[in-house]
Amino acid sequence: SKPMAVIYTYFTDIDSKDHRNLIAKEAATKIAFYLEKDLNLKTTHLSLPLPLLMQVKAPAIMVELPNFETFSYNKTNIEALSKAIARGLILH
């Protein structure tokens, strides 16, 4: 099976109009897209009330990288991970 990356945001229906949550959700979606496209990773997006993300005043996401047992962290893959995440953060 494919290695997996998990992207966490804090987003609720109550906060759906909150600009920072909308930005975080868009960034999470784009990061997942590039991780899947560029590295052939399986991704999932979880929206959870994680204290670390809830307390941040700016748009916030957390990316859990694939387990080292299922993903090779060689120089090429590390660079590809970095680029995929950076591309996902460019929102416009």
Average pLDDT of the residues of the chain: 85
Higher pLDDT, 35 or 91: 35
Question: Does position 31 have pLDDT exceeding 90, yes or no?
Answer: yes
Higher pLDDT, 60 or 1: 60
- Confidence at residue 11, expressed as pLDDT on a 0 to 100 scale: 58
Question: Does position 53 have pLDDT exceeding 60, yes or no?
Answer: yes
CA 75/CA 92 separation, integer angstroms: 28
- Confidence at residue 55, expressed as pLDDT on a 0 to 100 scale: 80
Give the global pTM: 0.84
Question: Does position 88 have pLDDT exceeding 60, yes or no?
Answer: yes
Higher pLDDT, 15 or 6: 6
pLDDT digits (tens, 9 = 90+) for 19-28: 777 888 889 9
Task: Say if CB 40 and CB 80 are below 8 A apart.
Answer: no
Concatenate the DSSP letters of all residues of 33-82 into one string.
HHHHHHH--EEEEEE---HHHHT-SS---EEEPPPTTTS---HHHHHHHH
